[in-house]
Amino acid sequence: MDSIIKPDLSGFENTIRDYVRYVLGKPMTDATSTDLFNGVSSAVRKLLMDIRIETEQRYDRRDVKRMHYISMEFLTGPLLANNLLNMGIQEDVRAILKNMGLDLDILMACEPDPSLGNGGLGRLAACFLDSLASLDMPGFGYGINYDYGLFKQSIMGGYQREKPDYWPSRSSPWLIARSGEKCMVPVYGRIVDTEDIEGGYNPMWSEWKLVVGRPHDIPVVGYGGHTANRLRLFSAWASEDFDIQIFNEGDYFRAVERKISSENISKILYPSDSQEAGRELRLVQEYFLVACAVQDIIRIYLKQHDDFNQFSKKVAIQLNDTHPALTVAELMRSLVDVHGLEWDNAWDITTQTLAYTNHTLLPEALEKWPLAIVEKVIPRHLQIIYEINRRFLETLTVNYPDDPQRLHRMSIIEEGDEKQVRMAHLAIVGSHSVNGVAKIHSHLVKTGLVPDFYDLWPEKFNNKTNGVTPRRWLLSANPGLARLITESIGDKWIVDLDTLKALESLGRDPAFLEKFSMIKRENKVRLARLIKKTAYIDVDPDSIFDIHAKRIHEYKRQFLNVMHIIHGYFMIQEEGVIPTAPRTYIFSGKAAPGYFLAKLLIRLIHGVADVVNKDPLVSQWIKVAFIPDYKVSLAEIIIPGADVSEQISTAGMEASGTGNMKFAINGAVTMGTMDGANIEIAEAVGPDNIYIFGHDVEEIQAMRGAYDPGKILAQSPHIQRVLNAVNSPLFCGWENDLFFPLFDAVVNHGDYYMNLADFQSYVDAQVRLSGDYVDKKKWAQMTLLNTARTGIFSSDRTIREYAGEVWGLERQI
Ligand code: F58
C-alpha cells in the first residue's frame, strides 16, 4: 500500500471560523452544531478540491481511459466521517476541534443521510465509487440530484408512515455546482421527415421542449488521499431561452408552469423496490440522466480528441441495471444525428463502450416501457430503437433461419395488446458485456432469464460477484473491531481485505477471542441504545441479537422470520419449552408505499412485538423490535451489533445481497438459504460457520407447479398453530381480521414464496444455532472465522475484476 498522503491542516481552523463568519454571517458564539458541521465540511471540501484538481490533471496529462458508472441511485450515506478516514485525518481533525471546544462526534451526528437510493443497487454504486478512488482508477458516477430522496419512515400504531425526505440538494457542503457545464436535453415533440440535399428523407426531431441539466459534483476521495474522483448529479431546470420566449409572448403563467414541470424531473426518487411503476415521469427521469451523462462524457472526450476513433479505447460506460438502458439509443443518436457518424461505425463504438449489469430476475422488476409513452417522450429514440431492432432481427434470421418463435422472444419490441420496449433486451444488444452480481445469479441470467441471448453471444456473459467497501463497513462503522484487527495484523486489510485471513490462527488464542467478543458486546450495547431511542424497547445485550435488516418484500421472507417467532412464543407459552438462549429479534426496513402486503407485514411485526414483549414469561426469552427508517447511517450501527444475520430469501430470488456481506465481515453468523451471494459466503466461511437451511434453487424450480402448501399445512400442527394465530385476533389489537391477507396469500394463494416449504428446516437450523451460541468459545470462533474469511467480499475485488475483464481500466497512481 502506498502510504497515506496527509493534507496540510494548518489553515483548517481558520477555514471553519471564516465559514461561520463570512458565509453564515455569524459570530462563532452563535453557531449551531449544524452550522459547525457545515463549517467543518467546507474545510474538508477545500482539502478534497486540491486532491480532485491534481487527480484530474494527472488523468488529462496521461489521456487515460475513464469509466462512467450511470445509475439512477447512489446511496452514499453521510460523508464527513468517511472523507476524514480516507484522507487519514480523522484524529487530527478531532484534536483541532477539541482545541476549539468542539466535539467531532456531535458535529458528525448533524449530517443528514443523502438517501438517493432504494437499497442494495444504490448502495453498491456508492461502494464502487469508494473502491475506484481507493484503487486510484478513473471511475466516475453519473446520477440525479433528487430534491427528495427515499421517503422517511416512521411508525404510528404499528403502521408505516411515509414522509418526504428533503435533503439539501442545492446547499449540501459536499455538492459543488458546476453551472458552466450544463447540458441541454430535448424532450417530447415530434418527428417530421424532411428532404435533404441529396433527395433522401431525413427524420427531424422538432418542437421539443428543452430541459437544462445542471451538474453538481460530489468529490469522492479514495483511501490514502491520492485520488479524488467525482460523482456528478444533475438537477433539472427549465430552459431560460424557451421560457423567455413564452414570457415575451405574454403568457406569464404558462412560462412559470413550464418551469415547474421541468424541475419536477429531478424532484423525487421513485420509491419502488422490485416493481416498476411505468410512470411517464420515471421514463423522463431515466432519459434525462442518460442524455446529460452522454453529453458530458462526449464533451470530456472531445477535449482531448478530434474524432471518435479512440472513443471506446478511452471511454467505458457501465449501466447499473436497465434504468439507464436508453444510453444505447442516446449514444447512437448523438453519434449519428449530432456528430454525423455512419450508423455502422456508431454502432461498433456504442457496443464496444457499453456494458450492462443485471440486478434482478424477478419478472415484475424487469423494465418494459409502452411504445406509446416512449414515442411521446423521446420520439427520435424510438425510431433509433426500431432501427437497432430491425438490424438485430436481420442477423437473427441468418443465425437462426426458420425459427420465428425465437425472433419473437428475442425482439427488443414485445408484441401484444400493448407493445412495449424490453429494456433488458435493448441493454444486452447494445453492450459488449452482460453480468450478474453473484455466481448463482449470473448462471440463472444465462439459463433462465435470457437463454436465447446466451446461446447467441455466450462470450458476452460473465459474473461479477458484488462486494462492499471495507472503509465504510468496517473501518468507519466498527472502530473497535478495526482497531483490534490493526493491532493484531497491521492495517493492510484496509486496502487488501484478504489479509484478514491472518486472523484465523488467532482463534486459538483465548485472550484474543475474549477481546473480539468484548467488542461485539460493546457494539450490542450501542445498538441497544439505538433500539431504546427509536423503538422505545429495552433489550438485553446478552441475548442473541438476530437481525433482519433490508427492504421489506415477500421474497425476502420477513414473514418466515415472524412465523418462527410466533412458533417460539407458543413453544414457551403452551408447551413450556424454554429456548436454549434468550433472543432479540430485530427488524429494520422500508416497504414501498404502494406495496400492501409488505406494509401489512410491518404491522404484523409490531403486533407480534406487542404481544411477545408484554408477556411476562415469554419476554424473558424473546423480544421483538423494529427500528424505523433504515438507512446507511443506521445500518452502520445495526450491522456491527449483530450476532445473527437473517438472509432467508426464497432460493433463486435474491440476485446477490450485499447486507449479507457486511454482516459477515463484522462477525455475524449467517442464517441463510442457498441464494445469491449466501452461497459464496458459505463457500468462504465453511459449512460449520454458517446456518444453511431450506430448499435450494433446483429444488424450488422442481417444486414450482406442483407445490401444495395445503399439504404441508395439513401435516404440521406447528404451522397450523402459527398461521391460525396470524389469522386470529391475537396480534390485531382492536382491528379484526387485520392479517387475513397475509394468511390468505400463504394458505389460499399458493404461497408463492414457499414460506411453508422451508419452515421446518428453518426452525431446526435456529435450534442448532441457539445451542451453539451458549458455547461461548465455539461461538466466538465461528464469528471470528466469519470476519477472517470474508475478505473476498471487498468491493475492491469486484472493481479489480470489472476493471480487468470489462472496462480495460488501469491504476493511475
Ligand atoms: C438489488 N436490487 C438486488 N434494486 O435485489 C440485490 O440482490 C443485489 O445485491 C443488489 O441489487 C446489488 O446488486 C435493487 O436494490 C432496486 O432497488 C431497484 C430500484 C429501482 C426500481 C426497481 C428496484
71 lines ligand 1 (CB under 6 A): no
In angstroms, rounded to a whole number, what is the distance separating the alpha carbons of residues 264 and 266?
6
Q: Which three cell numbers stand for residue 353?
A: 463502450
Smallest CA separation from ligand 1 atom 2, residue: 121
118 lines ligand 1 (CB under 6 A): yes
Residue bearing the bigger pLDDT, 495 or 196: 495
In angstroms, rounded to a whole number, what is the distance separating the alpha carbons of residues 652 and 674?
8
| All residues at 6 or more sequence positions from 773 whose CB lies less than 8 Å from its CB, including other chains | 544, 580, 581, 643, 779
Catalytic position from the list 446, 472, 550, 606: 550
- 277-288 pLDDT, tens digit each: 668 999 999 999
Q: Please confirm, yes or no, whether 614 is among the known catalytic residues.
A: no
pLDDT of residue 542: 98
| All residues at 6 or more sequence positions from 409 whose CB lies less than 8 Å from its CB, including other chains | 452
Q: What is the mean pLDDT of the chain?
A: 95
Per-residue pLDDT band at 243 (split at 50, 70, 90): low
CA of 127 to the centre of ligand 1 (A): 14
Q: Which three cell numbers stand for residue 802?
A: 470489472
Establish how many alpha carbons lie within 13 A of residue 807's alpha carbon, considering only the half-sphere containing its beta carbon: 27
In angstroms, rounded to a whole number, what is the distance separating the alpha carbons of residues 738 and 597?
11
pLDDT of residue 261: 83
∠ CA 504-509-514, rounded to 5° = 100
pLDDT above 70 covers a percentage of the chain that reads 97
The residue among 676, 691, 688, 684 whose CA lies nearest residue 787 is 684
> For a substitution probing ligand 1, which of 123, 274, 661 has the most ligand atoms within 8 Å of its CB?
274
675 lines ligand 1 (CB under 6 A): no
> For a substitution probing ligand 1, which of 115, 268, 322, 359 has the most ligand atoms within 8 Å of its CB?
359
As a whole number, mean pLDDT of residues 429-454 equals 98
pLDDT of residue 571: 98
CA of 304 to the centre of ligand 1 (A): 36
CA of 170 to the centre of ligand 1 (A): 27
Q: Please confirm, yes or no, whether 368 is among the known catalytic residues.
A: no
Ligand 1 atom with the shortest distance to the CA of 119: 15
Catalytic position from the list 226, 381, 460, 551: 551
As a whole number, mean pLDDT of residues 797-806 equals 98
As a whole number, mean pLDDT of residues 147-167 equals 95
- 357-409 pLDDT, tens digit each: 999 999 888 899 999 999 999 999 999 999 999 999 999 999 999 999 999 99
> For a substitution probing ligand 1, which of 360, 361, 423, 469 has the most ligand atoms within 8 Å of its CB?
360
Cβ contact 638:664 at 8 Å: no
Q: Please confirm, yes or no, whether 776 is among the known catalytic residues.
A: no
Give 353: exposed, middle or buried? Use CB within 10 Å, 0-12, 13-18, 19+: buried
15 lines ligand 1 (CB under 6 A): no
Ligand 1 atom with the shortest distance to the CA of 676: 7
| All residues at 6 or more sequence positions from 338 whose CB lies less than 8 Å from its CB, including other chains | none
pLDDT of residue 272: 80
CA of 281 to the centre of ligand 1 (A): 20
pLDDT of residue 363: 85
| All residues at 6 or more sequence positions from 525 whose CB lies less than 8 Å from its CB, including other chains | 541
Per-residue pLDDT band at 489 (split at 50, 70, 90): very high
546 lines ligand 1 (CB under 6 A): no
- Domains of the chain, first to last: 63-78+113-466+799-807 (3.40.50.2000), 538-783 (3.40.50.2000)
Residue 460 DSSP code: G
659 lines ligand 1 (CB under 6 A): no
In angstroms, rounded to a whole number, what is the distance separating the alpha carbons of residues 439 and 276?
25
As a whole number, mean pLDDT of residues 164-175 equals 88
Cβ contact 183:213 at 8 Å: yes
Catalytic position from the list 359, 441, 471, 472: 359
At residue 593, φ and ψ (nearest 5 deg) are -55, -25
Cβ contact 592:271 at 8 Å: yes
Q: Please confirm, yes or no, whether 359 is among the known catalytic residues.
A: yes
> For a substitution probing ligand 1, which of 121, 279, 444, 464 has the most ligand atoms within 8 Å of its CB?
121
120 lines ligand 1 (CB under 6 A): yes
pLDDT of residue 138: 98
pLDDT at 196 over 80: no
Residue 438 DSSP code: S
| Neighbouring-strand partners of residue 660 | none
Q: Please confirm, yes or no, whether 550 is among the known catalytic residues.
A: yes
Q: Please confirm, yes or no, whether 711 is among the known catalytic residues.
A: no
582 lines ligand 1 (CB under 6 A): no
478 lines ligand 1 (CB under 6 A): no
Cβ contact 504:785 at 8 Å: yes
The residue among 514, 481, 477 whose CA lies nearest residue 500 is 481
User: Reduced to 3 states, what is the DSSP secondary structure of residue 27?
Assistant: coil
117 lines ligand 1 (CB under 6 A): no
- 319-362 pLDDT, tens digit each: 999 999 999 999 999 999 999 999 999 999 999 999 999 999 99
Sheet of strand 644-647, all strands in order from the earlier edge strand to the far edge = 622-627, 583-588, 544-549, 644-647, 669-672, 691-692
Per-residue pLDDT band at 204 (split at 50, 70, 90): confident
CA of 677 to the centre of ligand 1 (A): 13
The label of the residue with cell 404441508 reads 712
CA of 417 to the centre of ligand 1 (A): 29
As a whole number, mean pLDDT of residues 661-680 equals 98
- 542-592 pLDDT, tens digit each: 999 999 999 999 999 999 999 999 999 999 999 999 999 999 999 999 999
360 lines ligand 1 (CB under 6 A): yes
CA of 630 to the centre of ligand 1 (A): 16
Ligand 1 atom with the shortest distance to the CA of 273: 23
Region of 742 (left: φ > 0; alpha: ψ -120 to 50; beta: rest) is alpha
As a whole number, mean pLDDT of residues 114-121 equals 95
pLDDT of residue 201: 60
> How many beta carbons lie within 10 A of that of residue 731, not counting itself?
24
Catalytic position from the list 65, 556, 631, 695: 556
3-state DSSP of 390-431: HHHHHHHHHHCCCCHHHHHHHCCEECCCCCEEEHHHHHHHCC
> Can you give the pTM of this predicted structure?
0.97
DSSP string, 187-237: ES-EEEEEE-TTS-EEEEEES-EEEEEEEEEEEEEPTTSS-EEEEEEEEEE
In angstroms, rounded to a whole number, what is the distance separating the alpha carbons of residues 739 and 717?
20
CA of 747 to the centre of ligand 1 (A): 28
pLDDT at 721 over 70: yes
pLDDT of residue 706: 95
DSSP string, 298-336: HHHHHHH-SSSTTHHHHEEEEEESSTTTTHHHHHHHIII
- 741-766 pLDDT, tens digit each: 999 999 999 999 999 999 999 999 99
3-state DSSP of 477-501: CCHHHHHHHHHHHCCHHHCCHHHHH
Give 711: exposed, middle or buried? Use CB within 10 Å, 0-12, 13-18, 19+: exposed
Kind and range of the H or E element at 95? helix 90-99
Smallest CA separation from ligand 1 atom 22, residue: 274
For residue 581, which amino acid is it? A
pLDDT at 240 over 80: no
As a whole number, mean pLDDT of residues 114-118 equals 94
Per-residue pLDDT band at 254 (split at 50, 70, 90): confident
For residue 224, which amino acid is it? G
pLDDT at 242 over 70: no
In angstroms, rounded to a whole number, what is the distance separating the alpha carbons of residues 231 and 75?
11
pLDDT of residue 582: 98
